[in-house]
Amino acid sequence: MTGKFITLEGMDGAGKSTHIPHIIALLQAQGHEVVSTREPGGTDLGERLRELVLHETMHVETETLLMFAARKEHIECVIKPALARGAYVLSDRFTDATYAYQSGAKGLTASKIEALEQWVQGEFQPDLTLLFDVPVEVSVERLRATRSPDKFERENAEFFSRIRLAYLQRASANSNRFRVIDANKPLDEVAKTVESIILSL
């Protein structure tokens, strides 16, 4: 039996992480084993690379290479073994985030990401991607009220505008696996939308 790979995407402050416990509970109620993970991160090495990516200044190509190094470990050591035993894997970000942040926001040529994606993943993709979408001003306002920001969260509104556009373009180009969620609605309405999508699996 093969499990399902579900990813959650969106700008910082979109609220995607808020819904992870609810999604886990929904899947567990259906009798599924759930592995909850994140990117960058997911493994011991990935978590160490996460600290570098989120807090150290570096060239965008270096940043992208580190992301895919962490991703390779994540796929081989966590994601694929869990899927092989029939678990549902829930990841807070995956490769779509690299297209949004490193290409959309920072200007790295998308073809360079595509080459790394093909090398590291081959044809491996999520079964479902939930994109939590909010206006940029909502994202920025939410970030102001949260923890100490990392280097991405400290960026300006134009940076987040480019991220949002890149995500929406990715969703349009991959509509078979993306579900775009209006995360600017009240929390209970967003939760109901998420629940409907998850239960439809």
Give the pLDDT band (50/70/90) at residue 153: low
What are the residue ranges of helices labelled H in the chain?
20-29, 44-55, 60-74, 80-84, 95-98, 110-121, 136-144, 157-173, 187-199
What average pLDDT does this structure show over 36-53? 96
173 to 12, 73, 147, 200: CA distances (angstroms) = 22, 27, 34, 22
- Amino acid 14: pLDDT: 85
pLDDT in tens, 88-99: 999 999 999 999
CATH class of 5-34+82-199: alpha beta
How large is the average pLDDT for residues 83-110? 97
- The pLDDT score that the predictor gives to residue 138 is 84
- Domain segments of the chain: what residues? 5-34+82-199
pLDDT at 48: 97
Q: Can you give the pTM of this predicted structure?
A: 0.93
